[in-house]
Amino acid sequence: MFLGHYTRNSEQADDLKSAWGEDVNGRLDYVTGWHAKTKDLLANRSGEFAYVTTNSITQGLPVPALFGPLYREGWKIKFAHRTFAWDSEAPGKAAVHCVIVGFTKDQAARQRLWDYPNIHGDPVPQRVVTGVNPYLIDGPDLLVKTTTKPLSPTIPLVHYGSMPADGGHLVFKAKEGKRGFDSDPVAAKYLRRFVGASELLHGTERWCLWLEDLTQADLKASKLLRDTIEACRLWRSDQPESGDAYKHQHTPHLFRPSRHVPRAPYLCIPQHVTVNRQYWTAARLEPEFICGNANFVAPDEDGLLFALISSSMFITWLRAVGGRIKSDLRFANTLVWNTFPAPELDEATRGRIIKAGRKVVEARAERPDRSLSELYEPYLLGANASLRKAHNALDTEIDKAFGAPRRLQTEKQRLELLFPAYQALVAAQG
């Protein structure tokens, strides 16, 4: 029953289509078939219902897919238990992270919410002021939906990094080093650091050939370059004709074409980080670093975007509305970034936020022996007074920019600002 949209088979997908009909959505978990059948059963009779499900139904794209049809037919949340661990009695004792959500059509029903500070412990009742929304937060009753452009004018679009499509000829494996190209004075001019998600987070060194500015003279002078480019051409010409690699066989010295290759300092955003991170671990890079497509990129000449994404406010938003890959937190441009309700900033506030972001960079630089992943490992971060102080100062500036009188202490406090800010941006779009 606890099957996500990545793990179900075609027969189970057909079950969901049968249950949901025109409301079927590829992001719905298999368990939601019970919600569909129950709402149909109770369409013309009185009753309420509740299910124990995986917590994925309250995260990311499954939220509007499930709650949209239920809300349309008059259902509302009556009570909910936020994420807790449930140990199956089946062989192997598989543990899953679950929620319980109960539904009613009584619009006057008092809503109740329980939280699990220890997911293996007992529930703790929560004070509900505004209402329990589909993200199991005390906040406005809304559904955060994907959008192709940022709602906030403060932030720009982000795009995937560069895709090699090279069969390993232009981008080298980490263990290969520079693959001897540094010994060729002509080829060495085209060596660039390549930064995928692993390289960004773990500080490993990887190299590539970046041949955008390759000259005819240099090509003629370097047999190593000619042999490499020819090997890439042969590899691409042997790929399926429907794919991009085959389509670009006549430009085998280039990565897949992109209009978004950074020409100035930019923000490099990994697509996933581990679930226990207190901050999203992005970094600003110079354009000499070639960013791979396991990351997103955005121009960030002054460092404002780095400061925003490094804040508690941003990761609070991501945890609330974003999805997961297994247990990892997942960055999504259309669902998380484009919906992030960053406030408009006057020059003074903008300057303070940028300055605070630079202090985070300086604090990171105090430990050059540690990768980003190591710096933000919870125990190591807890012992790094300089980095914690820098992040606290950054949070102070950003929390105040969102309207808080001082640095906030909890996710709940930040969500009480984020959801209304999102609601206001959506309303402003008409």
Domain boundary among 101, 126, 151: 126
Q: Are residues 243 and 348 in the same domain?
A: no
Taking the CB of residue 144, how many other CB atoms lie within 10 A of it?
A: 25
Does residue 4 register a pLDDT over 60?
Answer: no
**pLDDT digits over 188-239, tens only?**
999 999 999 999 999 999 999 999 999 999 999 999 999 999 999 999 999 9
Mean pLDDT confidence for 89-104: 78
pLDDT at 3: 47
What does the DSSP assignment read for 88-113? -SSTT--EEEEEEEEEES-TTPPPEE
Q: What's the number of CA atoms in the CB half-sphere (13 Å) around residue 80? A: 25
Domain boundary among 182, 217, 247: 247
DSSP category for residue 163: -
Q: Are residues 292 and 380 in the same domain?
A: yes
Q: Are residues 170 and 65 in the same domain?
A: no
Q: Are residues 236 and 270 in the same domain?
A: no
Which band of pLDDT confidence, cut at 50, 70 and 90, is reported for residue 301?
very high
In 3D space, the residue among 83, 102, 95 whose CA is nearest the CA of residue 35 turns out to be: 102
Q: Are residues 326 and 189 in the same domain?
A: no
Distance in Å from the first CA to the final CA of the chain: 39
pLDDT at 93: 55
Which band of pLDDT confidence, cut at 50, 70 and 90, is reported for residue 107?
very high
Does residue 280 register a pLDDT over 90?
Answer: yes
Which band of pLDDT confidence, cut at 50, 70 and 90, is reported for residue 29?
confident
Which strand ranges, in their side-by-side order, compose the sheet holding 290-291? 207-209, 191-195, 290-291
Does residue 94 register a pLDDT over 50?
Answer: yes
**pLDDT digits over 336-392, tens only?**
999 999 999 999 999 999 999 999 999 999 999 999 999 999 999 999 999 999 999
Flag whether 75 is in a domain.
yes
User: Which amino acid, residue 107?
Assistant: Q
Q: What are phi and psi of 124, to 5 degrees?
A: -120, 120
In 3D space, the residue among 340, 156, 368 whose CA is nearest the CA of residue 262 turns out to be: 156
Flag whether 241 is in a domain.
yes
Q: Are residues 119 and 213 in the same domain?
A: no
pLDDT at 1: 47
- Cβ-contact 63, 101 below 8 angstroms: no
Flag whether 100 is in a domain.
yes
Q: Are residues 277 and 319 in the same domain?
A: yes
pLDDT at 7: 57
Q: Are residues 362 and 423 in the same domain?
A: yes
Q: Are residues 18 and 87 in the same domain?
A: yes
In 3D space, the residue among 269, 314, 323, 345 whose CA is nearest the CA of residue 414 turns out to be: 314
Flag whether 146 is in a domain.
no
**pLDDT digits over 36-81, tens only?**
999 999 999 999 999 999 888 998 888 999 999 999 999 999 999 9
Mean pLDDT confidence for 401-411: 94
How far apart (Å, rounded) are the C-alpha atoms in residues 341 and 398?
12
How far apart (Å, rounded) are the C-alpha atoms in residues 30 and 32?
5
Number of domains in the chain: 3
How far apart (Å, rounded) are the C-alpha atoms in residues 65 and 390?
39
Flag whether 311 is in a domain.
yes
Q: Are residues 99 and 230 in the same domain?
A: no
Beta strand pairing call for 95-104 and 328-330: unpaired
Which band of pLDDT confidence, cut at 50, 70 and 90, is reported for residue 406?
very high
Taking the CB of residue 195, how many other CB atoms lie within 10 A of it?
A: 26
Beta strand pairing call for 328-330 and 324-325: antiparallel
Flag whether 284 is in a domain.
yes
Q: What is the CATH number of the domain that holds 56?
A: 3.40.50.150
Taking the CB of residue 374, how many other CB atoms lie within 10 A of it?
A: 14
Q: What percent of the chain has pLDDT over 90?
A: 80
What does pLDDT average to over the chain?
A: 92
Q: Are residues 291 and 397 in the same domain?
A: yes
Instruction: Please give the residue range of the domain that contains residue 241.
Output: 163-247
pLDDT at 326: 62
Q: Are residues 281 and 310 in the same domain?
A: yes
Domain boundary among 102, 126, 150: 126
pLDDT at 12: 79
Mean pLDDT confidence for 85-91: 70
∠ CA 221-224-228 to the nearest 5 degrees? 125
Flag whether 348 is in a domain.
yes
Flag whether 216 is in a domain.
yes
- Return all residues near 146 (Cβ < 8 A) that are at least 6 apart: 61, 332, 334, 335, 338, 339
